[in-house]
Chain A
Amino acid sequence: MSFVQNFPFFSIILSLLCAVISFFLGARWAKRLTLFLLTSSIVLQSCILSFCFRNHISYAYMMGHYSAPWGNEIAAGILEPLFALLFAVVMLCSVLGGMHRMEQDVFPGKQNFYWIMVDLAHVSLMALCYTNDIFTGYVFIEICTIASCALLSIRESGRSLLAAVRYMIFALVGSGLFLIGVIFTYSVTGQLLFPQLYEAIGKLWAAGTYRFSMTVAIGLMVVGLAIKSGMFPFHFWMPDTYGRATPASSGILSGVVSKGYIFLLIKIIYRVIGIDIFTASGVQTLLLLFGIAGMIVGSVSAIFAKRLTTMVAFSSVAQIGYIYMGLGMGTQAALVAVFFQIFSHALTKPMLFLSAFQLSHASGGRQDFHSLHGAGHRHPVAGCTFTVGALSMVGIPIFAGFIPKLYFATSAFGLGWKTWPVLAALAISTILNVMYFLYTTILIWIPEEEGTHAHIRVKPQAGTVFPAVLLAGFNLLVGLQSAGLTTLFTQGMDLFCQ
């Protein structure tokens, strides 16, 4: 066994240790430790990725002395480190970009807890990426939930507390349903690890016994994770959660946390249930319908939103809808599109939030659209990054958001009755996106001659705008160099889907 193969485990243990040590440190050292952790995590994930890509392998790593059906396991292929890398990069950028607001939003005595929570969110995301055991998945889902609730409520304003309660209630119902799904699956198969579950479920389905329980179990697991990641009928927690947190938390919650759940869901669909059984169970069609509904409802709600961050948060509902639509289509090509969508959304949304907060800072801290008139001139860099994000969300070529839309559209053909709803949803959603994102962009760039905030000129500091610019760079990179990522995704899927 090569030493590099230990790295997934190292990245998990390292962040656990950092969290515990930060408990004893002051805010300043906790911050340094967290930044060190995120950077080293990026390095570790890159090593694993390059190792797995060069040797074209995926492997299971025993957590302990006992092999597969008895002990815990984590597994890594190409996709797992790739997404772990994405999560670490986005977390680092959001944290760096939102750091300057921390002084205002977080009480100084509690700042080290903020960094502990970032560490714990990081470890849970790594574990969700790498886990090969469904119950480990459940435990780390809970860590992720509690940590993200703390990241949200640390701002301690009344609205963010209410948002946190709402988020927690939805998230807890989601994890309860997920746990029941796991229990049903366990009681008809007797296994908890992914490969063994896959085998047992395949046998059960072929034999036809307990088919109803299995269908319900699949439905419950999917619905549980869908509630937690904000699929359409369960999206009510999203706008306040994303719109009321401190910028760094907004970036982490919108860009990364919901994607962690979605990645676990993809793992469960492809490595536990198997795509054929998933299609046969009928849950897939539900995902498609709710995904399409989410795309439309999210965009319409964004048009009616009254604050900039709420609007950006509602557009997340639509973007998550794209992901679920892709999962509902169920082909390999659609899965590639889903991966691209996760990438583009994870890179774009934190950037949008960071620049939205900076724009509102340049408008005297106000978030309504009247005050934002001409904000782009007051804070040019934030205006530029916001524009990049908006163009990417709309799906203009050369930006990252274009690629998934293209792939969704091409993979929609040959799906029978699903083709037309998918294409229509893509078209309508794009038009709606144009309505709110391009109008906002135009709004912030119209010069304002005699407004209340016209005199404000924000001098962009390198430290605060750099992360958003970096994310914009990544966004363009994904948009321009999508061929390389496509290779990674397709090769990773060969290893990933059994």
Chain B
Amino acid sequence: MTALLTYCTNLFNNYEEVVAVILFSIGFCILLFSRNLIKKVVGLDIMDTGVFLLLASRGYIEGRSVPIIVDGVTSMENYINPIPAGLVLTGIVVSVSVSALMLSLTVRIYRTYRTLDVDALYMMMSVSKGGKR
């Protein structure tokens, strides 16, 4: 019982991470259940956003400010952890590049097959040998 209580308290305290995880799961659901390729790409992006929120929230420290040195005060007591911020920056850049690539693939598939529905694409793949060349 106490274990469950601690568990719930922890969940409540880590609310930002909980939101991030829920966001990730939403993205994952869209990726799995949506039949449209564009929506799948959107789902991937939402997943990435969830990951970045999780990472960013890991750097926060209660009552401290952004890690930009003001007035020569360099004590760690005043600033939050800069590492997750740097990692998120990298992650965002990766996510942008990947979405651009996915979208351009989607455009090309639409131009070739004139549909974005995964089932229809799968059908064309299995029934006719190869696409247009």
Contact = CB atoms under 8 A, between A and B. Distances in A.
B115 to A, nearest CB: 12
Nearest to B32: A173
B109 A161 contact: yes
A43 to B, nearest CB: 32
Interface stretch (A178-186, A436-444, A451-459): A178-186
Main secondary structure of the interface of B (DSSP, over half): helix
A180 B54 contact: yes
A146 B98 contact: yes
Interface in A153-203: 153, 156-159, 161-162, 164-165, 168-169, 172-173, 176, 179-180, 183, 186-187, 192
A42 interface: no
A165 B51 contact: no
B30 to A, nearest CB: 12
Interface residues of B, number: 34
Contact of B44 (A135, A150, A157, A172): A172
Contacts of A153: 105, 108
A159 B132 CA distance: 8
Most buried by A among B28, B55, B83, B98: B98
Contacts of A168: 98, 101-102, 105
A164 B37 CA distance: 13
Contacts of A180: 24, 51, 54
Contacts of B84: 186
Contacts of B48: 176
Given A165-B106, A169-B44, A176-B48, A149 B31 contact: no
A161 B37 CA distance: 13
A180 B55 CA distance: 8
B131 interface: yes
Interface of B: 24, 28, 31, 37, 40, 44, 47-48, 51, 54-55, 58, 83-84, 87, 90-91, 94, 97-98, 101-102, 105-106, 108-109, 112-113, 121, 125, 130-133
5 contacts: A146-B97, A158-B109, A158-B113, A169-B40, A176-B48
Q: Considering the complex of A and B, which 3 residue pairs feature the smallest CB-CB distances, nearest first?
A: A158-B131, A158-B112, A187-B58
Given A145-B98, A158-B113, A162-B125, 5 more contacts: A157-B131, A159-B131, A161-B105, A186-B84, A187-B58
